[in-house]
Amino acid sequence: MFWKYHDMLFANQRQLKRNHLEKYARKIGLDMDQFKAALDTKRHKAAVDADIQEGGGVGVGGTPTVFINGEKAKGFDFNKLKAQVDPMLIAKGYKLEDLPSELRHQIPVGNSTIKGPSNAPITIAEFSDFECPFCSSAGREVSKLAKMYPKHVRVVFKHFPLSFHKKAPLASQASLAANEQGKFWEYHDLLFANQQKLDRKYLIQYAEKLKLNVARFKQVLDSGIFKEQVDNDMALGRKVGVQGTPSMYVNGKPIKLGRPLMAKLVKAVELEMKRLKIKSPMSEAKLKKLGVDLSVKPKPRAAKPKPRAAVRKAPPKGRAASGMCKPGSGTQCAPPKKR
């Protein structure tokens, strides 16, 4: 259970007191008597102290510090680590073409809602927030995309309500309450169409509009039984690098969103189909009409900028104290950057 507990600690770094540690242990089903006894007696303190001493002996001066086959890693991003690991693997007989060429995350479907065939070769994981205006437009585009690739693409919806969107967490739980009655996508569309009306009374009105069992819907909403699922989606999102909404991944590969969004999505899907050697249902004419260019162009070499005095710029228009989430401010809702 080490890695499960490891992930929970990193997902909750501001809550690491004794009561929190016990809470995480219960959540993953550990033997609580054994867990508490280990903490009370400091059973594993010697092992931790030995790790610290060993680290000091090999020059560890801060964290994180990574060693690859005994050599200190030069950098931590995927490309820098790959540049060090690949030669070692090739020397042991691995072929370069069999090694990963890009960063891909493991994003399990779990009990998330899916649009499209369950056996589709391409999965788009969509981390979204019902109070985010960019997510509303992105949701419509993703829905169109699924229709363009009816046999090849499935969309997995993951909840990621941002901290400054106070009504979004309950809206996510309401959508899962609707999902329990087989109406997730219909409810999803109503929420995005009414983003200024996400109070509880409106959430119930939308359930009535879809002719759900409203008594059951209220019971589920008040019980908070789907809060854990929303929290788990958020923990997963943080683990794979989600910093704003919407964030999307094609078979685990993050998509760099931009305008026009549909062209970006189609290009990502087409490149993945090419990698998987799957024939696309889209003709060259359709791709051209969408403005999708699949040719790989070398990036122009940027000239080195001349050094100049640092000037503190005023924050761009659209940035609120609680975060960036207004049309014209970009393509995502995101918390404010720490200064």
Q: What is the 3-state secondary structure (H, E, C) of the chain?
A: CHHHHHHHHHHCCCCCCHHHHHHHHHHCCCCHHHHHHHHHCCCCHHHHHHHHHHHHHCCCCCCCCCEECCEECCCCCHHHHHHHHHHHHHHCCCCHHHCCCCCCCCCCCCCCEEECCCCCCEEEEEEECCCCHHHHHHHHHHHHHHHHCCCCEEEEEEECCCCCCCCHHHHHHHHHHHHHCCCHHHHHHHHHHCCCCCCHHHHHHHHHHCCCCHHHHHHHHHHCCCHHHHHHHHHHHHHCCCCCECEEEECCEECCCCCCHHHHHHHHHHHHHHHCCCCCCCCHHHHHHHCCCCCCCCCCCCCCCCCCCCCCCCCCCCEECCEECCCCCCCCEECCCCC
- Residue type present at position 59: G
Q: Return the minimum-mean-pLDDT range out of 233-242, 276-285, 302-311.
A: 302-311
| Better pLDDT: 193 or 102 | 193
Percent of the chain's residues with pLDDT above 90: 63
**Structure token pair of residue 80:** 């820098």
Cα distance between residue 290 and residue 270, in whole Å: 12
C-alpha distances (whole Å) from 219 to each of 130, 177, 204, 226 are: 21, 9, 11, 12
- Provide the mean pLDDT of the chain: 88
> pLDDT tier at 314 (50, 70, 90 boundaries)?
very low
pLDDT at 33 > cutoff 70: yes
Domains of the chain in sequence order: 2-43 (no CATH), 72-98 (no CATH), 113-250 (3.40.30.10)
pTM over 0.85: no
What confidence score (pLDDT) does residue 200 get? 97
> pLDDT tier at 312 (50, 70, 90 boundaries)?
very low
pLDDT at 316 > cutoff 60: no
Which range in 98-107, 206-215, 297-306 is most confidently predicted, on average pLDDT?
Answer: 206-215
Cα distance between residue 132 and residue 320, in whole Å: 14
- The mean per-residue pLDDT over the stretch 262-278 comes to 94
* Selection from 66, 4, 45 nearest residue 236 by Cα: 4
Q: Return the minimum-mean-pLDDT range out of 46-55, 99-108, 256-265, 313-322.
A: 313-322
| Better pLDDT: 148 or 332 | 148
Contact 232, 172 (CB under 8 A): no
C-alpha distances (whole Å) from 108 to each of 132, 188, 249, 251, 266 are: 24, 21, 12, 10, 22
pLDDT at 259 > cutoff 70: yes
**Structure token pair of residue 114:** 């899916």
Tens digit of pLDDT for each residue in 200-256? 999 999 999 999 999 999 999 999 999 999 999 999 999 999 999 999 999 999 998
Q: Phi/psi of residue 192, each to 5°?
A: -70, -25
Which range in 2-16, 108-122, 301-315 is most confidently predicted, on average pLDDT?
Answer: 108-122
Cα distance between residue 247 and residue 261, in whole Å: 12
Tens digit of pLDDT for each residue in 142-187? 999 999 999 999 999 999 999 999 999 999 999 999 999 999 999 9
Contacts of 133 (CB under 8 A, 6+ apart): 195, 325, 326, 327, 333
What confidence score (pLDDT) does residue 315 get? 34
What confidence score (pLDDT) does residue 291 get? 87
pLDDT at 337 > cutoff 70: no
**Structure token pair of residue 327:** 């049309």
What confidence score (pLDDT) does residue 328 get? 56
- The mean per-residue pLDDT over the stretch 305-322 comes to 45
- Residue type present at position 9: L
- The mean per-residue pLDDT over the stretch 267-292 comes to 92
What confidence score (pLDDT) does residue 70 get? 87
